[in-house]
Structure 1
Amino acid sequence: MAISEKTIAKLRILADAAKYDASCASSGSTKRDSRGGKGVGSVEGMGICHAYAPDGRCISLLKVLLTNSCIFDCAYCISRASSNVERARFTPAEVADLTVEFYKRNYIEGLFLSSGIIRSPDYTMEQIVEVARLLREVHDFRGYVHLKTIPEASPELIEAAGRHADRVSINVELPTKGSLKKLAPEKDRDGIEGAMAKMRANIDAFKADKTRRAKKPRFAPGGQSTQMIVGADGENDAEILTTATDLYGKHRLRRVYYSAYSPIPDAKPGMPVNRPPLIREHRLYQADWLTRFYGFKRDEIISVMDGGMLDLAADPKLMWALKNQGFFPIDVNSATKEQLLRIPGIGTKGVQKILAARRYGRLRYDDLSRVAASVKKIRPFVTTPDWRPTSLLDSGALEARMRQPAEQQDLFAA
């Protein structure tokens, strides 16, 4: 089936508008800043983004809005009611047909669908669910589906989204209730968290169902996620990390996405004119990972912050190590898994390699190159039978050597 020029024109607008949602990393645009022209930026790749399926596979998704029209007027959103941007709208059938067509052409493996609010939250949620229903029941689509749900919609509609989707997300939007009330007055933090709680209850009920059925109904097997915008208001990193860890604990979220605020056309008075540095977004992800996968407590990360902000020139694990020098050096041949995870420069996979290699003999200095990307980075923190740091970690020279200007750092380093 040929894709019409009218559909392509809609896709160009609605894929561009969807790039502001950080729930999957867009490969279809070079930046999230739509000032200039009519506010429609690059859509190279026509809205294709990359995300991770519940089984860990990296997959390509069509990332698009059902519509960029909205009755809400959130100050940080390019699709807000008062925004002067070109509007477009798909029907549910158009999105379903486009998804199937792209899938058949091997462009994508699934769909990420969000939307502005039209008429009412319930009406919009019905339209989103209808896309997923058409894909599953009419087209027998077996690919990945991620639906952005609307917390103001009825619980029945949000539950219906979970029955069709592999993953759902309910955006908390901003780190604090105060910022949400200030910048998105139509939204309510308690209502958002209430919707998250109901979704968690549904997911838990599905997992707890031990009945043996020939075809057990699925329910959001990839769990739920959320997004927080960073830099739209004055919250510091400590407040952001505190909110994230609270959400993980209360609602068992699979992921909190951090999205650096993107300046938008016709911004409301008082909104930032410059976006925060992307390295700040990256540092928040690193801190998030430390609390989820490395055994760090939230307060341990906050304790190394300067004025509630993460250091842009060094990752938070390194900052913790420099401020807790008595913990090091660590003997890689006798340390526990928890101790190994604290070594700067070694990730979870590296720790697993060390534990596996120790079954066959003692590791020596040269062996460290097989478990760490940079032996030079980790050697001040470890000992082996043939290596011990020549001095304690109390010199400013070590910190200066291991830190580097934020603008020189690789945002995608492990």
Structure 2
Amino acid sequence: MSTLSKMKVLTDSAQFDLCDYVNHHKSSQVNLPGIYHAKGRNGCEVPLFKTLLSNKCKNDCKYCINQNKNNFTRLELEPDELARVFLSYYNNNYVNGLFLSSGISDNEENTMEKIIETIRLLRKKYEYDDYIHIKIIPGASKDAIKRSMALANRVSLNIEAATPSGLEELTSTKDYNKDILKRLSWINSLEGKSYVYPNSTHTTQLIVGANNETDREILNRMEKLYKNSNLKRSYFSAFTPVEGTEFENKDSCNVDRTSKLYHADALLNEYKYNLKELVFDNNDHLSLDEDPKILAARKMDIFPVEINSSPFIDLIRVPGIGVKSAKKIINIRKKHPFQNKEELKKIGVVTGRAEPYIKFNGNYQSDLFNF
């Protein structure tokens, strides 16, 4: 089988891994396998080459087309073969970076060795110095993780579920505490070391709707990770049933649910909310109809906040005021106090949302503050 034929299969198998990467280069639109347009938080789309090294896998994940019970053609690329294909894309300006993952072809350590050899060839043999994001295999050794982080701009390890019991609903071949949480702690302990690739970061991903975990359970896990590690961010993959898997007859996850989880996750990670500040329904899920920040604000007793004197932690709890605009408010008010909402609007505050929750020098400009 030709390398191109292999790529068509392996890149399709990598479609459910999520990532972002912010860059401002542009590439032409081409119809080649593996070009994935990652979207950063600034809305910028960047083309990455996203593929599996192998679709062979010993795991029995019930949602995954590559689970070991499926009978189909299994393929694997050699490290140098993959490196050369990627470089042909990169040198032709089709992509701006590599996003590499893999099934576990025989065991965790051998698979990690092949991943590491691929990126080692790119860095050392071919002198490639642009973006590389690799997925760490659950159960990988600390030494393999260390060598991966010495070569990659970003590493990630999919947490998959929020609880041990949640992971047991998905697979019988992974140990939540040992294979995932322990490895995440190793990644965190290595980040920032002198031998790690400059400014290397790590992320994780969780599947939503494939098991019975609630939003509260999911966000409780995220809160613990953010408090105890330098985790850059989390991704929420809405479960979609795949024909040929044990979960092929399960319902798809509502994408509105993952959208609300992203909003709530940002409150925990960027805005430093506590889980207890968020509002859940009687089933421990977020509302699909209302913004979690507004729901949280309605039960807080800090409003209305004084724009010209309130601390940063209160300002970022105002709907319509983000982290960047809160910092601008604090810097500007040192020179002259804000007088009205129009001045806030000029620095990016969404005043239509913020107005009921703020005041200027003791005065409201709205009669909407009514909870």
- Equivalent residue letter for 2:191: I
User: After superposition, where does 1:12-411 map in structure 2 within 5 Å?
Assistant: 12-24=8-20, 46-50=34-38, 59-83=46-70, 87-191=74-178, 192-204=180-192, 206=193, 217-219=195-197, 221-268=199-246, 273-301=250-278, 303-324=279-300, 326-363=301-338, 364-372=340-348, 374-384=350-360, 387-394=364-371
Instruction: Give % identity.
Output: 32
Residue 338 of structure 1 and its aligned partner are, at CA, apart by 1.4
Residue 52 of structure 1 and its aligned partner are, at CA, apart by 5.7
Query: Unaligned stretches of 5+ in structure 1?
Result: 26-42, 208-216, 395-414
Distance 2:348 2:227 in 1: 31
Please give the TM-score of this superposition, normalised by the length of structure 1: 0.79
Contact 2:320 2:354 in 1 (8 A): yes
Contact 1:164 1:220 in 2 (8 A): no
Distance 2:32 2:350 in 1: 35
Contact 2:38 2:47 in 1 (8 A): yes
Query: Unaligned stretches of 5+ in structure 2?
Result: 22-30
Residue 58 of structure 1 and its aligned partner are, at CA, apart by 7.1
Residue 91 of structure 1 and its aligned partner are, at CA, apart by 1.5
Out of 94-103 and 58-67, give the one that drifted further: 58-67
Out of 81-90 and 239-248, give the one that drifted further: 81-90
- Equivalent residue letter for 1:77: C
Out of 258-267 and 128-137, give the one that drifted further: 258-267
Residue 340 of structure 1 and its aligned partner are, at CA, apart by 1.0
Out of 185-194 and 373-382, give the one that drifted further: 373-382
* Count of residues paired in the alignment: 358
RMSD over aligned Cα atoms: 2.6
Residue 165 of structure 1 and its aligned partner are, at CA, apart by 1.2
Relative to structure 1, is the Cα distance of residues 23 and 391 closer, same or farther in structure 2, using a 3 angstrom cutoff? closer
- Equivalent residue letter for 2:15: K
Contact 1:83 1:265 in 2 (8 A): no
Please give the TM-score of this superposition, normalised by the length of structure 2: 0.88
Out of 230-239 and 8-17, give the one that drifted further: 8-17
Contact 2:153 2:201 in 1 (8 A): yes
SS of the residue corresponding to residue 18 of structure 1 reads: coil
Residue 272 of structure 1 and its aligned partner are, at CA, apart by 5.5
Out of 346-355 and 336-345, give the one that drifted further: 346-355
Distance 1:46 1:391 in 2: 51
Contact 1:330 1:340 in 2 (8 A): yes
Relative to structure 1, is the Cα distance of residues 7 and 338 closer, same or farther in structure 2, using a 3 angstrom cutoff? same
- Equivalent residue letter for 1:348: V
Distance 2:35 2:147 in 1: 25
Deviations 1:308-348 (A, max 9, x none): 11111112110011223x32222222222111101112211
Relative to structure 1, is the Cα distance of residues 391 and 220 closer, same or farther in structure 2, using a 3 angstrom cutoff? closer
Relative to structure 1, is the Cα distance of residues 6 and 373 closer, same or farther in structure 2, using a 3 angstrom cutoff? farther
